[in-house]
Amino acid sequence: MGNLAELLHGFTIAVTVPHLVLMAVGVLLGILVGVLPGLGAPNGVSLLLPLTFGMQPVSAIILLSSMYWGALFGGSVTSILFNIPGEPSSVATTFDGYPMARDGRPTTALATAFGSAAFGALIGVILITFLASWVAQVALAFGPPEYFAVYFLAFASFVGMGGAAPIKTVVALAIGFAIAAIGIDTVSGSVRLTMGIDELVKGVNFVVAVMGLFGIGELLVAVEEEFHARAVSSKIDWREVFRAVGRLPRHSVALLRSAAIGCWMGITPGGPTAASFMSYGIARRFSRRGRYFGTGEVEGIISPETADHAAGTSALLPMLSLGIPGSATAAVMMGGLMIWGLNPGPMLFVDQKDFVWGLIASMYVGNIVAVALVLLTVPVFAALMRIPFVVIAPLIVIICVVGAYSVSNSYLDVVMMLGFGIVGYLFKKLFYPLAPLVLAIVIGDKAEDAFRQSMLMSKGSLGIFFANKLVTCLVVAGIALLLLPLVLQLARPFRKSTSPAAETAAQEKVII
Amino acid sequence: MISRRALELATAILTGSFGVAVVVQSLDNGIGWSSEGVDAGTFPFLTGIIILAGSLYNLVRGIVPAATLASVPIAITSIELWRLAGLFVPAAIFVAVIPLLGMYMASAAYVFAVLAFPRHQSVPWSAATAVATALALYVVFERMFQVSLPHGALAAVLGF
Amino acid sequence: MRGTSLFLLSVSVAVLAGNGPALAAWQPQKPIEFVATAGPGGGTDNLARAVQNIVTKHKLTEQPIVVVNKGGGSGAEGYVYGKASAGDPYKVIFGTSNAWQQPLVSKVAFNYTDLTPIAAMAQDEFLLWVKQDAPYKTAGDYLKAAASGSFKMGGAQSKDTDEVLTRMIEKVGHVKLTYIPFKSGAEAAVQLAGGHIDSHVNNPSESLGQWRGGTQRPLCVFSPKRLPEGPKITATEGWSDVPTCVEQGLDIKQYEQPRTVWLPGKVTPEQAAYYVDLMKKVQATPEWKDYIEKTSQVDTFLTGAEFDQFIKQDLEHVKQVATEQGWLVK
């Protein structure tokens, strides 16, 4: 229990008045950059980094990591209220969060999301505290074949289910893969699929695609239906915030399962995005109310949010102990570590005990500060839903345009974003599923790289995917998840294949 | 108005042509196996073929007057089309004038236009919202986070 | 603390005074954009941010500086952006030797001739790294072992500096290595720690933490002489204790990666001169020395004809490897 003593020592460092103030400042700034699409934690971190050089390294990292928590929480706000996910990992939150908000329950949706996010983060920190050295060992066991197997597992758990027409799902998935392949290929170094547009060598950024597909696409669907948000209760209701959080323990199975998936994907290379998708997919399959998913189910919010934050938190561990940044933010933070004269890597835990344990203790405290602050903001954000549609619609357009532009200061991205908006509208209208498309854009090229690296290593033999216990288990689990729906269908022969009209009706429910 | 069938066909043609473009482009990178392992074009080629085949299936399914689509013959009515255009056309014009006017002026003009012209809001109120939007963008992006948004050709001529 | 900043201030004043006449020629009138042709946290990004910090701290220009990351397509995104901004003296592009190497081997829509060279500011060294518990102690042992088995060499990107060096090792050492490209050197380092590959050729800063942590160790450095003395990295060894590859029978005298600075094409000579001057001033600051030391790079400054000469030589060299490997784009 040496770790526990270290942790208590860490708390004495983290829980001081100046550090609590730094946490509050960091969290608030983080919420701001998280809420504004186009800005993200990396912007905030690079803004604050120069300010931190005069500080103690531990104070600096507390400020920066608090901002990271704030940004993670803030990222869910636009997903839920406007269907615009600012980060890949909050895409899955839109599936049920947005329908619930549109149904007149934005307060419940936001409070549920924040509550379960905090739970996920807490489990992630506990994992870091007690299993740090074990986790680092596990992460090292992952080579290219294992990476591929993890991505395969994420796809398998999400694809091959849901109500959409199978051929349309396949088309959407393949389009996502093709978009992910645009730009320079890591393994061969050659330029692919630029369609004669030189600037496309940089590839299609996820944010650009998602702002169009989800943000603009949803706006078009909404305006066509003469969308008016259902009357949100006019007075700010604090009680609903607490009620929503208080109801969370009823979903303890979903919470624990999602946290486990999140931690697992965080320490393996899957990351928060794969974690949230996978957790949503599995919840939809195993929840008793699975077929209502997509219409504003509470567990449809809990599952992706818990997994996202559990993964986001446990992903900081590989950064500290191995020196591989799991995200752009972590990369900037790593740059900061080096400027402060600390080298991330296996020795950090030995050389810089105060720093590491101060940071870990601040993760506990920082997350509590973050969830308290962010819950206070819920009624304010929920009130945004009362702005008339005619006013909010142009503002959403501007947010998407600015967001798409600021990703890489490129006008082409703005035009592409608008194009994705039309595609998003058409796909929604005709029941092509967007989720597999997005998942393929985010992890499609990584999966391809891992597959081709494995093929280089094995000189073309597929046997490498069954070469050791770890990779075999992952691959077999993936195949099982793919086949599971088929088996279930065979087991229930009386359930007749859905008629097209019923199919449409069912999807209509999901897609609204 | 636009029928469901026409919309299905248009979308299938759209995805299909993307599939063709992907297939053609991926041939440049080589498909198959070489000394560098799986060639760069292999996976895009396969996905392109899948997109193409799937689109063809959707196309045929759209043409054949099956009972499937009979239940919802009309996808977009003319009123809905009008509303869609009312949102999308100004947005497209907004994006088109950004290189000329810059982000701030273009977004102010856009907000003003969509609020004042359909008489959703009074002119002074629309103008105030427009200016507030542009100002908020400027303060948050240009000042706080030092993200430079486009200033436009006009501003360059005027010497900003 | 106050003493230091006063000292820094006087240094910068002295530098400013010394270059008075050159400054009168052209001065920036609006914010300057530093374009890093790498993602946040990469070596090139660190350089751009270090220069930004130094310029801002010493007030070397009145104008604010913004760092923008354009690392898509192994940096091609940033160079293409630079090409598209021809005539704009407010965009400074930070890159590496891939400004001239990349157009040779992949169909990217730029060439280094589309840009105005400013300077090469630092040289990053390359080392041959193996897993801590690997049986071989010298580069000679490594080559002997590699000759028999099928060794896997990891590296950052494809047909880039790491792979060029790998092919050179193959040729000089008469071995065959399977090169596995990863996204970054840091990723390759972790793969080596996990034993998924046998070796890599990372820069010192990319594997520093791993060496200290005892997961991997350097066999030799691709440099004509040993690295300068510095603080010990592990309990017993520092960078200067790593033998050169030539000493150990791997006859590659020198292989370095310059960090390069460019302006877009079609800028005036005065504008280019302003930035050459600015970079010289940056290099004279104590913070720069600190940056060089922390990242274990070699301090150099090549500009004008010297820089051109360097590019030409390197280009010849890479072209030779690329031709042998059949990488040249048609």
Contact C209 A346 (CB under 8 A): yes
Q: Which of B42, B46, B147, B151 to mutate to test the interface with A (most CBs of A within 10 A)?
A: B147
Please give the average per-residue pLDDT across C288-313, as a whole number: 90
Kindly indicate the confidence band of residue B36, based on its pLDDT and cuts at 50, 70 and 90.
confident
Say whether pLDDT at B26 is over 60.
yes
Say whether pLDDT at C12 is over 60.
no
For chain B, the first-to-last Cα distance in angstroms comes to: 47
Residue C152 pairs with which residues in a beta bridge?
Answer: C178
Please give the average per-residue pLDDT across C148-163, as a whole number: 88
Instruction: Return the pLDDT at A104.
Output: 84
Instruction: Return the pLDDT at B130.
Output: 95
Contacts of B8 in chain A (CB under 8 A): 430
Say whether pLDDT at C40 is over 80.
no
Instruction: Return the pLDDT at A128.
Output: 83
Q: At what angle do helices C43-57 and A328-339 cross, to 10 degrees?
A: 60
Contacts of B146 in chain C (CB under 8 A): 64, 66
- pLDDT > 90 fraction of chain B, expressed in percent and rounded: 54
Instruction: Return the pLDDT at A213.
Output: 94
pTM of model > 0.90: no
Cβ atoms of C120 and C44 within 8 Å: the answer is no
Cβ atoms of A370 and A62 within 8 Å: the answer is no
The full DSSP string for chain B is -EEHHHHHHHHHHHHHHHHHHHHHHHHHT--SEETTEE-TTHHHHHHHHHHHHHHHHHHHHHHS--HHHHT--EEE-HHHHHHHHHHHHHHHHHHHHHHHHHHHHHHHHHHHHHHHTTTSS-HHHHHHHHHHHHHHHIIIIIIIS-PPPP-HHHHHHHT-
For chain A, the first-to-last Cα distance in angstroms comes to: 51
Contact A224 B80 (CB under 8 A): yes
Amino acid at A302: I
Cβ atoms of A365 and A15 within 8 Å: the answer is yes
B84-118 tens-digit pLDDT: 999 999 999 999 999 999 999 999 999 999 999 88
What is the pLDDT tens value at each position of chain A, 512 positions in all?
467 888 888 888 888 899 999 999 999 998 888 888 777 777 777 677 767 767 888 888 888 888 888 888 888 898 999 898 877 888 899 999 999 998 888 899 999 999 999 999 999 999 888 887 777 778 888 899 999 999 998 888 876 555 667 889 889 999 999 999 998 888 888 889 988 888 888 889 888 999 999 999 999 988 887 655 555 554 567 888 889 999 999 999 999 999 999 998 888 777 888 899 999 989 988 888 888 888 899 999 999 999 999 998 887 777 777 766 666 666 667 767 766 767 666 677 777 788 888 888 888 998 999 999 999 888 888 888 888 888 889 999 999 999 899 887 889 999 999 999 999 999 999 989 888 898 899 888 889 999 999 999 998 889 999 999 999 999 999 998 888 777 776 766 544 444 444 444 444 434 33
Read off the tokens for B113.
């236009």
A156-166 tens-digit pLDDT: 887 655 566 78
Ranges A340-354, C129-143, C157-171, C284-298: which has the least confidence: A340-354
Contact A426 B10 (CB under 8 A): yes
Alpha helices in A15-165 (DSSP H): 17-35, 41-52, 57-82, 91-102, 106-140, 144-158
Asked if the C-beta of B24 comes within 8 angstroms of chain A's C-beta atoms, the answer is no
- Residues within 8 A of C (CB atoms), A 30-49 only: 42, 46
Read off the tokens for A39.
């800005």
Which value, to the nearest 10 degrees, does the dihedral of the CA atoms of residues A277, A132, C128, A465 take? -40
In sign, the C-alpha dihedral spanning A363, C185, C228, C54 is negative
Q: What are phi and psi of A79, to 5 degrees?
A: -60, -45
List subunits contacting chain B, requiring 3 or more Cβ pairs under 8 Å.
A, C
Contacts of C158 in chain B (CB under 8 A): 36
The full DSSP string for A123-192 is HHHHHHHHHHHHHHHHHHT--HHHHHHHHHHHHHHHSS-SSS-HHHHHHHHHHHHHHHH-EE-TTT--EE
Contact A346 C186 (CB under 8 A): no
Say whether pLDDT at C58 is over 70.
yes
Say whether pLDDT at B13 is over 90.
yes
Question: Which of A9, A28, A25, A265 lies closest to A123, judged by CA?
Answer: A265
Instruction: Return the pLDDT at C316.
Output: 92
Q: Are strands C298-302 and A191-192 parallel, antiparallel or unpaired?
A: unpaired
Amino acid at A53: F
Which value, to the nearest 10 degrees, does the dihedral of the CA atoms of residues A270, A272, A277, A282 take? 80
Q: What is the distance between the alpha carbons of residues A267 and A133, in angstroms, rounded to a whole number?
A: 12
Q: What is the distance between the alpha carbons of residues C122 and A477, in angstroms, rounded to a whole number?
A: 49
Contacts of A188 in chain B (CB under 8 A): 29, 36, 39-40
Alpha helices in C36-194 (DSSP H): 43-57, 76-84, 98-105, 139-148, 161-173, 185-193
- Residues within 8 A of C (CB atoms), B 67-126 only: none
Asked if the C-beta of A388 comes within 8 angstroms of chain B's C-beta atoms, the answer is yes
A264-296 tens-digit pLDDT: 888 877 788 889 999 998 998 888 888 888 889
